[in-house]
Structure 1
Amino acid sequence: MSHLDLDLRALDIFVTVVEAGGMTAASQQKGITQSAVSQAVGGLEKKMNVKLMDRAVRPPALTPAGRTLFDRAKSLLDTARETSFMVRAHQQRSLPRLNVGMVDSFGITVGPHLVKELMDEALEWSVWSGLTKLHVKRLFTREVDVVITEGSVETEERIISHRLLREPFVLALPVGYTKKIESLKELSEDIPLVRYSSRSLTGINIETHLRRLGIEARRRFEFDTADATLAMVAVGIGWAITTPLCLLQAKTHLPSIRCEPLPGPAFSRSLMLATRRHELESLQKMISKKSCEILEQRCLPEISRFAPWVIEKMRVGEKVV
C-alpha cells in the first residue's frame, strides 16, 4: 500500500463523524446514508491498518490513532480546499457558487448593494437570512461560505473574522408617546415592551441587559424580525429596544416611530464578517471593504436623518481577529 493512499472524501466524512458526534448525525449533515458513512470510516481503517474509533462505547470514541488522524486531517482538508480554489481561479474568474448567511438587518440594508457590487465574483449567489445563531454553525458544516452575523465569533483556528459595524442599542417609541423618558423601569410600567424573539441574539442581549437593570417587563408581545417588532411600535402597541440599522431596515415605519437614546447604561452589538481560514480570504477582504463603504456612504447618512445624535456612537470597520 502507498503511504500517500488517503481518500480525501473519506477523511472529510471521518472528520464530520467526530465533529457531529456520531455516524447518524454525520450522515444527515452530509446527505448520505449511514451505511456510506460507516464504509468510509471502515475503508480508512483498512487502508491504514489501524483502529480509528472504539465502537464498544456509545457514542463511539476516538482511539489515540483516531485522535492523531482527526487533528491532522482538518489541516490536510483545509489545504486541499484552498488548493482547489486556487487552481479553479486560474480557469475561471468567478466562483461557481457563493453561499452567504446574513443577519436580516444587514441583508436588507447593505445586502442588495453588496451583491450588486460583487455579483461578478460568483456565477450563482445564495443568501440566507433569519436567526443568526445558526449562521456560524453553518459555516462549520460548509452550508455557507461567508457569514455576516451578530455578536462575537468564537475563536477557532479554522475561522477568520472581522468586525464590520458596532452600533448602540436605542429606544423606539410610538411617535404619539410624548412623555419624557426617565428610566426603562418607569417606561415598562407605563406601556408594554415589544420584544425581539428570545431565539435571536438581539433578543437574548436585550433580555440580559434588562435583567442587569432588575427590570422584569411583562411578556406580551414577541417577534422574530426587526420589521415586525417595529411595526408594532409604529401602530402604538408599545416600545422596543433596537438598533439604528434595525430601524433603517424597517424604515417604512419610521414616520410613526420616535427614536431616543437609551436611558441608563449603554450597550451595543457588533456585526461580524467570518469565513473559513485559507478559503476565500481575498473575497472576504473585498466583502469587508465594500460593506464598510456601503455602511459609511449609504446607511449612516440615512440614519442621520432620523437619529443624528447616534452617528458619533457608531463604528464602521475595525479588525478583530
Structure 2
Amino acid sequence: MNMTKGLSLRSMEIFVTVVEKGSMSEASKHLNMTQSSISQHISNQERLFSTTLFDRTVRPLAPTPAGHTYFQYAQQVLDQVGIMWSTLQKINIVPLNQIRIAVIDTLADTLVPELTYKIGQILPKGSIKITSGQTDDHRDALLNRRTDIIITMDPMIDVDNMERHPLYREPFLMALPENSPYQADDIEQLYDKLPFIRYSPKLPISRLIEQHLRRLRLNIPHRFELDTTRAIMPLIAAGRGWTLTTPTGLLDSRHSLKNVKIIPLPFTNFHRDISLVARNKELGKLPKELAHLCKKHLKNVALAEITKKMPWVIEEIKFF
C-alpha cells in the first residue's frame, strides 16, 4: 500500500493553519489563498483519510477527534521538515570552495575589509572574492552566475527566486564648497554662481537624482559628469561646483571633505535604499548573516565618522 499517494505537505500545512487560526477565512488571509482553495484542500484530505476532520456545525471551527489526532501528527511532521530543511542548508554551505560578492562602489572601502575578515571566519576554507563596481553590472553578474551575492541599489524585485535583505535607507543631501555664499531659500543663486556636478547618466544614482529633479521641475544646468563621489568631492573642495549625494556616498570620499559643506536639501527630500541580494536558498543562512554584519558595521562604526560632520543626518538614516 502506498501511504504517501495523495498526501501533500502543503495540504498538511494548510490544515494546521486552519486549526490554529480557528477558521478558513482567517487562514486564507494568513496564507494569501482564496477560501475556496483552502476548503478544497481540506476536502481532499478528508477523502484521502476517509474521515471528517472538522465539525462544521460549530463556531469557531473545531477539529473532530480524528482531526485533532491528525493535527498533532501534522505538527510533528512539519517540525521535522523544518529541521531537515535547516540541516540540509547548513550542509550545503560546508563544501563551498569559493564565495563571490560584489559591493556597490560607494561602499567598497567601507565594507570590503570587514566582509573579508568576517567571511574568512564563517568560511575558514576556500577562496573569497569581493569586487566593487556599479549596480547595473552587479545585477547582470548575479543573473548570469558570475557572482553569488550583491550589495546594491537594485533589489531586483522584477526577478523571481531571489532572496532580498534590505539594509538601510538614506537621504540625499547637498555638498558644496565650505565658503559658498549659498542661501538655503534660493537654489537658483547657487547654480548661477557654481556649476552642478552630475554623476554619469549611466549610473543608477544619477538616474534617481535626475528623476527627482524632473518631478520638481528643476532644470539645473551642469558642466561636469563624473563616475564616483570619490572623483567629485575634490572638485567641490576646490570650489569648482556642487552636487547631490548621500551619507554613505560621502564615506567613500571622507578624506576629501575638509573644505566641503554638507547641508539638507532645500527642496522635497528623497532617498535611496541599499539591499543585499542573492539567489534564493543557494547559500543557506550566509546572506542573512552578512546582511546583519553589514548593518551592524555601518551603524556602529562607519557612519559614526561621517556624522561628526553632519550630526543631523543620523536621524534620517533608517536601518531595516
TM-score calculated relative to the size of structure 2: 0.68
Secondary structure of 2:258 counterpart: helix
Secondary structure of 1:156 counterpart: coil
1:89 is displaced (CA, Å) by 4.1
Match of 1:256 in 2: 259
Query: 2:196–2:224: 8 Å Cα contact kept in structure 1?
Result: yes
Q: How does 1:233-272 map to 2 (within 5 A)?
A: 233-272=236-275
Could you tell me which runs of 5 or more consecutive residues in structure 1 were left unpaired when the two chains were aligned.
Answer: 1-81
1:85 is displaced (CA, Å) by 7.4
Q: Distance in 2 between matches of 1:163 and 1:183?
A: 36
Match of 1:223 in 2: 226
Q: 1:263 to 1:124 in 2, by over 3 A?
A: same
> In the alignment, is residue 142 of structure 1 matched against residue 128 of structure 2?
no
Match of 1:108 in 2: 109
Query: Paired residue for 2:196, among 193, 197, 209?
Result: 193
1:193 is displaced (CA, Å) by 0.4
Q: Distance in 1 between matches of 2:154 and 2:141?
A: 16
Highest Rg: 1 or 2? 2
Q: 1:312 to 1:190 in 2, by over 3 A?
A: same
> In the alignment, is residue 117 of structure 1 matched against residue 118 of structure 2?
yes
Q: Distance in 1 between matches of 2:224 and 2:185?
A: 23
Identity of aligned residues (%): 31
1:195 is displaced (CA, Å) by 0.8
Secondary structure of 1:144 counterpart: coil
Q: Distance in 1 between matches of 2:188 and 2:136?
A: 29
Secondary structure of 2:244 counterpart: strand
Q: 1:182 to 1:285 in 2, by over 3 A?
A: same
Query: 2:197–2:232: 8 Å Cα contact kept in structure 1?
Result: yes
Amino acid at match of 2:117: K
Query: 2:93–2:284: 8 Å Cα contact kept in structure 1?
Result: no
Could you tell me which runs of 5 or more consecutive residues in structure 2 were left unpaired when the two chains were aligned.
Answer: 1-85
Match of 1:286 in 2: 289
| CA displacement 1:281-304 (0-9 Å, x = unmatched) | 310011011111101110221122
Query: 1:151–1:269: 8 Å Cα contact kept in structure 2?
Result: no
1:104 is displaced (CA, Å) by 1.1
Match of 1:13 in 2: none
Root mean square deviation, CA, Å: 2.1
Q: How many residues in Structure 1 have an aligned counterpart in Structure 2? A: 233
Secondary structure of 1:153 counterpart: coil
Query: 1:153–1:272: 8 Å Cα contact kept in structure 2?
Result: no
Secondary structure of 1:312 counterpart: helix
Q: Distance in 1 between matches of 2:93 and 2:219?
A: 55
Secondary structure of 2:285 counterpart: helix
Secondary structure of 1:129 counterpart: strand
1:88 is displaced (CA, Å) by 5.5
Q: Distance in 2 between matches of 1:268 and 1:88?
A: 37
Query: Paired residue for 2:185, among 182, 185, 196?
Result: 182
Amino acid at match of 2:99: L
Query: 1:183–1:264: 8 Å Cα contact kept in structure 2?
Result: no
> In the alignment, is residue 316 of structure 1 matched against residue 286 of structure 2?
no
Q: Distance in 1 between matches of 2:156 and 2:188?
A: 32
Query: Paired residue for 1:161, among 143, 161, 164?
Result: 164
Q: Distance in 2 between matches of 1:313 and 1:99?
A: 32
Amino acid at match of 1:121: I
Query: 1:194–1:221: 8 Å Cα contact kept in structure 2?
Result: yes
Secondary structure of 2:222 counterpart: coil
